Amino acid sequence: MLSLHTSPLEQPGTGDAGGMNVYISQTAAEMARRGVAVEVFTRATSSDQPPVVELVPGVQVRHVPAGPFEPLDREELPAQLCAFASGVLRTEAFHDPGHYDVIHSHYWLSGQVGWLARDRWGVPLVHTAHTLAKVKNAQLAEGDTPEPRSRVIGEEQVVAEADGLVANTAVEARELIGLYGADPAAVRTVAPGVDLARFTPGSKAAARAALGLPDDAVVLAFAGRIQPLKAPDVLLRGAAELLRGRPELAGRLVVLVVGGPSGTGRDQPRQLRELAVRLGIADRTRFLPPQAGPALAEVFRAADVVAVPSYSESFGLVALEAQACGTPVVAAEVGGLPVAVAHGTTGLLVPTHRADDWAAALGSLVTRPARLAELASNAVRHARRFSWRHTADALLDVYASVVTSFRSPRAEVAV
């Protein structure tokens, strides 16, 4: 597996670490349990990082020196593609021919390196985009920076060269085919999963006590990277509008924002806190740093509703994790979120990012305890339909298929 710009060892919720990190670490671990040896190549960001780290038995994370030993913004990473590719190819050169059977690249930067390795090693390339520039640019938040043309071109190249393309949802599959000209025969839809052992229902009272929240609080939570794309400001604006319409909630409402600055959000790291002040809800808003798995599950259990207001979302793992904990989700009706959230059954989908629409959706749940409890019960059953075990099984089927049909570019050149 190639994951140039972010490591599965990093804590999701800040910088470039997010759902992709969870996806890679969980699917790699599941494959290792089936006896598949997995090596994940990522860029070294510190001279203190050992060359190889065991994630779990059977999964090695290789830190490849490529550029300075420090985090780099994603727009700086294309300049390090040659150095990263060199490190990947040199590692394979120390093994006997045929050491690797399949390459799975994650995100377009890794796809560029995977395309080169595929041709050099004579093994098939499977690619997962996770996000697509053309989709993001069509759904930009106000004031956000569009993805550059260089990324669009890079994605088009990877889509054209990959032997297999994995989409999270049928919507993403149609985007790959319609926007990028992908061969429909090369596209397979594989839904991400959820860690059903970690994200489980639990005591709301205990979770609130651990976070110092009153038992009778009305708790709205956001978990993710603090950036315009993820739109935590939409939750704050919706919460402020909710209080204007229902002032009786003023003493009970708590908005939890869990995560750290990322992407263009790093340009103004205090912007969200300043927005809470301007909206008059600073005293009702709590900001927490990114939380590791067990602590994040406690945040979800403590909440009455988890909000996922993203402008673009290929799937929305947070929505699935929250539902697995028994918490309904209010999400934007974009990307893969209509798959992750069953509208009217496990939560609500909001077709806009307007504050009044979000206030209405949130208010329709937090003021109706019986309705909230019904959705919570449904949410757990819905989330249990997804698991990383099923995801890994489907990916292994994709690998087997591309191995069977693969024609080595090196063999064609030799002929």
Q: Per the structure block, which two tokens stand in for 344?
A: 């009217």
- Is 49 flagged in the annotation as binding? no
- Is 43 flagged in the annotation as binding? no
Residue 95 Cα to chain centre, angstroms: 33
- Is 155 flagged in the annotation as binding? no
List CB contacts of 400: < 8 A, sequence separation 6 or more: none
Cβ-count burial of 74 within 10 angstroms (0-12 exposed, 13-18 middle, 19+ buried)?
A: middle
- Is 145 flagged in the annotation as binding? no
- Is 137 flagged in the annotation as binding? no
With contact defined as beta carbons under 8 Å apart, do 41 and 52 qualify?
no
- Is 18 flagged in the annotation as binding? yes
CA distance 258 to 221: 8
CA distance 84 to 44: 9
**What phi and psi values does residue 350 have, to the nearest 5 degrees?**
-110, 125
- Is 378 flagged in the annotation as binding? no
- Is 304 flagged in the annotation as binding? no
Residue carrying the six token digits 């609080």? 217
- Is 321 flagged in the annotation as binding? yes
- Is 29 flagged in the annotation as binding? no
- Is 313 flagged in the annotation as binding? yes
Residue 178 Cα to chain centre, angstroms: 23
Tell me which amino acid residue 22 is. Answer: V
Q: Per the structure block, which two tokens stand in for 273?
A: 């806190």
- Is 63 flagged in the annotation as binding? no
285 three-class SS: strand
Instruction: Choose among 12, 34, 15: nearest CA to 25.
Output: 12
With contact defined as beta carbons under 8 Å apart, do 372 and 304 qualify?
yes
CA distances from 43 to 17, 59, 230, 308 (A): 13, 16, 25, 29
CA distance 130 to 208: 33
CA distance 236 to 241: 9
- Is 5 flagged in the annotation as binding? yes
- Is 225 flagged in the annotation as binding? yes
With contact defined as beta carbons under 8 Å apart, do 51 and 62 qualify?
yes
- Is 12 flagged in the annotation as binding? yes
Q: Nearest 5°: CA angle at 134, between 19 and 320?
A: 25
- Is 21 flagged in the annotation as binding? yes
Count of positions (residues) in the chain: 415
Q: Which residues line the annotated binding site for UDP-N-acetyl-alpha-D-glucosamine?
A: 11-12, 19, 225, 230, 291, 313, 321
Q: Which residues line the annotated binding site?
A: 5, 11-12, 16-21, 74, 107, 131, 151, 225, 230, 291, 300-301, 303, 313, 321, 327
Q: Which residues line the annotated binding site for 1D-myo-inositol 3-phosphate?
A: 5, 16-21, 74, 107, 131, 151
Q: Which residues line the annotated binding site for Mg(2+)?
A: 300-301, 303, 327
